[in-house]
A and B are shown apart, each in its own frame.
Chain A
Amino acid sequence: MLSKRIFRAVASLSLFMVVGCGTLPDASPFADSTLTLENSLRASGLAVATSLEEMEALDPANKLEHERLSRKFETAWQIRQKAAQAMTTYAQAISNLVAAGQEGKQTVAVVADGLSELATTLGIPVVSATVSVATDLVSIVVEQIAIVRASDGLQDAMSRAQPVMDRITEILVQESGSELRDMLTLANKNAVSSIRGAYDRDEAFYMRVLEVQNADSKTVFSSPQSLARRQILDQIEATTLTKIKQRDQLLTVTRLRNKLRMQLLDAQAETARTWARSHRDLSNAIREKRKVDVVELQQSIAELKALSKKVSDL
């Protein structure tokens, strides 16, 4: 009985001597959000490229110019995509180092199992309670050392990366709000111009028919010829109106597509801002050894994912 008490007292004293504090925040939401941002960038690039293709399909006369535009855009976008891939790899590397700093207990447990097995094989008597106490003690030490090491490395890397994060965010936000938006607007205007152009003759004809019908309505017709003329005019009006309605349907679809694409750009810009903020929050949380609030980031990501899907489904 006394022997157990002494053993426990020494073990407790040892435990008291090595107890530390601190933790590392979960970096996986940041890594996930970076991947989503990369995917949404791909979706935005695809939205602009598709918009250029639609413009080309409606305006075959400028095929060569359109093809040149598409090629140049593709080249420009590939560089952004590569930067986004590098961002994802960076976020995953952060997550990986955080994980390395958090797996202290598991490492010690694995080593303890290995040592127990080795001791048994070699016939060295080791009581399992001894191994258990030693494992607890060493786990705390290894865990704390790993947290501090990982924390130092992360703080250093993340504070160095922050200006780069801020700059890439600035570029993404600026391009979403200006160049990409302008491109969608221009491509949409050209698509509308082509659609309207294809029906300009019908519209001119329709307006003329309406004008004639209007003039006729002021006169009282009674002869069979004039009644026949009215019937023919009505038929012409109905046929032309069908074409005008076709045009309006095409215009509505084009407008809706453009609206969704614009929404995707807006959401992407907002997510990029939130993403850069979350990098700063994560960096602070690592320094202060506390958890991070990822609600805002997760909301932006959910919105962006839904919009990306909608645009992809167009």
Chain B
Amino acid sequence: MKIGELKALEWGNLTSTTDWIKLLSQMLSLVQDANSSTERGEIADALDKFADTSFSHDIDVITRLDDVARRTARSLRIDILAATIQSMGARTSELQAIAKEFSASSNALKKQAATLRAEKFNTAVSSLTETITSLRDLSQAVDSAKEDQLFKAIGQAVSNAQHLRNLLEATT
């Protein structure tokens, strides 16, 4: 018997306890030939199918055969599980590198956010001081009704606005 033949097994043709013993023996001998997880899986499934299907008037014997079949099936699957976990483990260094990349990006973004907040504060302080001063001067000049002072204040206010505009343009 070969592993590839397991799926095509005619379970209904087995009638005696001896038939079942012979079949289990053949199936167990396939275990050492299995070269991949897929083949081990096929044997494991066939062994469970054996235990599901087997029938004999000799209940003690058939139950013992079922037990051997099921234990072997489970052991094979444990082997496959171990191999699966190992294949996941093979990505460890790549995942560590990914985590490191994300951490580096996060740190850079955090730094930028802190710098941006500080810059905003500084810009707000200097720009507000200048703008309030020029607008206050303008307001006072308008009230004083002195033409030269008024022109000077308007000039300062416009120059301040231009300064703000320049700030924007330098950024964009």
A183 CB contacts on chain B under 8 angstroms:
81, 84-85
B96 at the interface (CB under 8 A from A): yes
Docked Cα-Cα span, A93 to B172, in Å, equals 23
Which residue of A has the minimal Cβ distance to B156?
A10
B98 CB contacts on chain A under 8 angstroms:
83, 86, 164, 167-168
Which of these, B48, B125, B132, B164, contacts A130 with CB under 8 Å? B132
Q: Are A186 and B171 in contact (CB under 8 A)?
A: no
B13 at the interface (CB under 8 A from A): no
Interface residues on chain A, number (Cβ under 8 Å): 95
B19 at the interface (CB under 8 A from A): no
Could you tell me the distance in whole angstroms from the C-beta of A187 to the nearest C-beta in chain B?
A: 7
Q: Are A207 and B164 in contact (CB under 8 A)?
A: no
For chain A, residues 144 to 184, give those with C-beta under 8 angstroms from any C-beta of chain B.
Answer: 144-146, 148-150, 153-154, 157, 160-161, 164, 167-168, 171, 175, 179, 182-183
Which residue of B has the minimal Cβ distance to A200?
B66
Docked Cα-Cα span, A118 to B113, in Å, equals 28
A62 at the interface (CB under 8 A from B): yes
Mark the stretch among A103-111, A219-227, A259-267 that contacts chain B.
A103-111
Which of these, B103, B117, B143, B157, contacts A107 with CB under 8 Å? B117
For chain A, residues 195 to 213, give those with C-beta under 8 angstroms from any C-beta of chain B.
Answer: 196-197, 200-201, 204-205, 207-208
B59 at the interface (CB under 8 A from A): yes
Main secondary structure of the interface of B (DSSP, over half): helix
Which of these, A20, A103, A190, contacts B120 with CB under 8 Å? A103
Which of these, A66, A125, A164, A201, contacts B63 with CB under 8 Å? A201
B30 CB contacts on chain A under 8 angstroms:
none
Q: Are A100 and B95 in contact (CB under 8 A)?
A: no
A200 CB contacts on chain B under 8 angstroms:
51, 63, 66-67, 70
Could you tell me the distance in whole angstroms from the C-beta of B145 to the nearest C-beta in chain A?
A: 8
**Most B Cβ at <10 Å: residue of A104, A111, A126:** A111
Q: Are B78 and A189 in contact (CB under 8 A)?
A: no
B44 CB contacts on chain A under 8 angstroms:
189
Q: Are B73 and A145 in contact (CB under 8 A)?
A: no
B149 at the interface (CB under 8 A from A): no
Docked Cα-Cα span, A297 to B80, in Å, equals 35
Q: Are B120 and A145 in contact (CB under 8 A)?
A: yes
A80 at the interface (CB under 8 A from B): yes
Mark the stretch among B4-12, B21-29, B134-142 that contacts chain A.
B134-142
Which residue of B has the minimal Cβ distance to A158?
B105
Q: List 5 A-B contacts (CB under 8 A).
A: A10-B157, A72-B82, A92-B106, A138-B127, A189-B45
A294 at the interface (CB under 8 A from B): no
Docked Cα-Cα span, A20 to B101, in Å, equals 35
Which of these, A68, A75, A149, contacts B89 with CB under 8 Å? A75
Could you tell me the distance in whole angstroms from the C-beta of A18 to the nearest C-beta in chain B?
A: 5
B51 CB contacts on chain A under 8 angstroms:
193, 196-197, 200
Docked Cα-Cα span, A190 to B48, in Å, equals 9
For chain A, residues 210 to 264, give those with C-beta under 8 angstroms from any C-beta of chain B.
Answer: none
Chain B 77-103: CB-based contact to A (< 8 A → 1; otherwise 0): 110111011111101101110111111
Q: Are A6 and B154 in contact (CB under 8 A)?
A: yes
Q: Are B172 and A97 in contact (CB under 8 A)?
A: no
Which of these, B52, B106, B139, contacts A89 with CB under 8 Å? B106
A309 at the interface (CB under 8 A from B): no
Which of these, B59, B88, B128, B158, contacts A138 with CB under 8 Å? B128
Docked Cα-Cα span, A65 to B117, in Å, equals 55
A127 CB contacts on chain B under 8 angstroms:
136, 139
Could you tell me the distance in whole angstroms from the C-beta of A166 to the nearest C-beta in chain B?
A: 11
A133 at the interface (CB under 8 A from B): yes
Q: Are A76 and B161 in contact (CB under 8 A)?
A: no
A14 CB contacts on chain B under 8 angstroms:
131, 157-158, 160-161, 164
Q: Are B52 and A161 in contact (CB under 8 A)?
A: no
Known contacts being A10-B158, A200-B63, is A164 close to B102, with CB within 8 Å? yes
A134 at the interface (CB under 8 A from B): yes
Docked Cα-Cα span, A148 to B80, in Å, equals 54
B112 CB contacts on chain A under 8 angstroms:
97, 100, 149-150, 153, 157
A270 at the interface (CB under 8 A from B): no
Docked Cα-Cα span, A179 to B87, in Å, equals 8
B138 CB contacts on chain A under 8 angstroms:
6-7, 10
For chain A, residues 40 to 87, give those with C-beta under 8 angstroms from any C-beta of chain B.
Answer: 52, 59, 61-62, 65-66, 68-69, 72-73, 75-76, 79-80, 82-83, 85-87
